[in-house]
């Protein structure tokens, strides 16, 4: 089984148990580089998948909270080589699957084939590149597939249905459903996205995970059953920035992921 298949299976297993998967988002090296490996291990005890954001100087999809965290991590010297080494060091103790979120430039500077090989070796299952359109990603897709990695596609509220279907077919691991137009952080309104998520789960041949603007257990509880997983980033980064233990928040979020009806009654 490839890493991409393992990622998909992890999400399907959560659904089969009657809940949506929990995918916390961490900024690599934040809140401090020295303790990040141990933080990764602790968050992994509560997560199905952890999305690790590589800090970047021009994060076009990130809201102010995550952008500020990325700047702090960059100031501490966090970069892809460091992250790969740190993940490889603690990977045997991290219970969750790992996905990298990186803008394209750091991957190009590292080398696309070299990056995919190194990610697979370190123990990642997939990657998300929010500024790389599907039509321009043939090289990355080829290298990701050759190393067993999932290149995860994003669908936004502005994506036309025909293109959403194409992205769903091209994605591996899961399809990332952006719940609101714009950057991360601002709260999404569950009533406005439930129908769109259910439509995506009907057309996608793989799990659908929602992110951007999901901050509270109440939001997740209202959306539970409309998709296969939830990515929560800004609320977690805020807790870490304030010096709070992230596990109580993750426990509350996890409790909210239980489906309100049996999985057999949910669209798929």
Range of the domain at 24: 3-253
CA atoms within 13 A on the CB side of 190: 15
Report pLDDT for 62. 77
13 within some domain: yes
164 within some domain: yes
Report pLDDT for 58. 81
Q: Which of 170, 174, 204, 199 is nearest to 9 (CA)?
A: 174
Report pLDDT for 77. 96
121 within some domain: yes
Q: How many domains does the chain have?
A: 1
Tell me: the pLDDT tens digits for 17-65? 999 999 999 999 999 999 999 999 999 999 999 999 999 988 777 789 9
38 within some domain: yes
* Residues with catalytic roles: 51, 62
Report pLDDT for 181. 63
- The beta strands (E) that lie in 12-125 are given as 21-27, 49-53, 97-101
266 within some domain: no
Report pLDDT for 184. 53
Asked whether the beta carbons of 104 and 33 are under 8 A apart, the reply is no
53 within some domain: yes
CATH of residue 103's domain is 3.20.20.70
146 within some domain: yes
Report pLDDT for 34. 96
Report pLDDT for 195. 85
Under-70 pLDDT residues of the chain: 181-192, 261-268
214 within some domain: yes
pTM of the model: 0.93
């Amino acid at each position: 089984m490839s890493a991409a298949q393992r990622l998909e299976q992890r999400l399907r297993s959560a659904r089969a148990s009657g809940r949506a998967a929990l995918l916390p988002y961490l900024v690599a090296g934040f809140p401090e580089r020295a303790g990040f490996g141990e933080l990764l291990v602790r968050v992994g005890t509560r997560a199905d998948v952890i999305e690790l954001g590589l800090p970047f100087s021009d994060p076009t999809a990130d809201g102010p909270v995550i952008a500020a965290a990325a700047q702090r991590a960059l100031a501490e010297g966090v970069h892809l080589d460091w992250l790969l080494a740190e993940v490889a060091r603690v990977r045997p103790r991290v219970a969750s699957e790992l996905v990298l979120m990186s803008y394209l430039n750091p991957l190009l500077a590292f080398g696309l084939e070299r990056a995919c090989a190194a990610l697979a070796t370190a123990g990642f299952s997939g990657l998300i590149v929010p500024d790389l359109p599907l039509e321009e990603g043939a090289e990355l897709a080829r290298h990701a597939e050759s190393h067993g990695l999932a290149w995860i596609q994003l669908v936004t509220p502005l994506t036309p249905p025909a293109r959403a279907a194409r992205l769903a077919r091209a994605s591996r691991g899961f399809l990332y459903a952006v719940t609101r137009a714009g950057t991360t952080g601002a709260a999404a309104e569950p009533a406005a996205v439930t129908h769109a998520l259910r439509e995506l789960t009907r057309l996608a041949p793989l799990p659908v995970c929602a992110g951007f603007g999901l901050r509270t257990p109440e939001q997740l509880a209202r959306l539970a059953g409309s998709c296969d997983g939830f990515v929560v980033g800004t609320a977690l980064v805020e807790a870490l920035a304030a010096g709070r233990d992230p596990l109580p928040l993750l426990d509350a979020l996890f409790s909210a992921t239980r489906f309100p009806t049996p999985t057999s009654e949910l669209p798929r």
